[in-house]
Every structure is written in structure tokens, then in C-alpha cells.
Amino acid sequence: MNPLDNTAPEFPNENHFFNLTGFIRTFTEEPSYAPKTVSQQIVLVTAGGSTSAYIYDTNATAWLSVNLT
């Protein structure tokens, strides 16, 4: 898997949590799309030397974020 590739692979019926930036989509700006699959509901955003995790709240239909250190 290419760590620079911004697409997260789908592993049906398998758990492969070997690399966060390879397993979870990584962007340089906050997401603005409405996810269609569970794997699209969690993304990492790296910008300016910091990383944030974004989780899509399906009830509020909005992205929530937390800064990671």
C-alpha cells in the first residue's frame, strides 16, 4: 500500500489496523462531503504540522473534530 495514496482500502469481513494513515483516509483540509460508507466517516487531516481526527455524526449530519498531539 502506498502511504501517499489518499484512498482507504476496503477490507470486507477483515480487520487490518496496521497503519492509521494508510487505513484511514488522510486529507490536508477538513472534509466537506457526506460519507456513503462507514469507512468514509472517519478521516485524518494533517495541516500545518498538526493532525486532527474527523468523525461524521450521522444524527446531526455534521463533521466533528478533535486535535491529536
pLDDT classification of 50: cutoffs 50, 70, 90: very high
Is there a domain that residue 7 lies in? no
Is there a domain that residue 51 lies in? yes
Count: domains in the chain = 1
pTM of the model as a whole:
0.67
Residues 68, 46: Cα–Cα separation, whole Å: 10
Ramachandran region of residue 47, left (φ > 0), alpha (ψ -120 to 50) or beta?
beta
pLDDT classification of 20: cutoffs 50, 70, 90: low
Residues 13, 41: Cα–Cα separation, whole Å: 18
Is there a domain that residue 3 lies in? no
Instruction: Give me the domain span that covers residue 27.
Output: 20-68
Is there a domain that residue 13 lies in? no
Ramachandran region of residue 59, left (φ > 0), alpha (ψ -120 to 50) or beta?
alpha
Is there a domain that residue 15 lies in? no
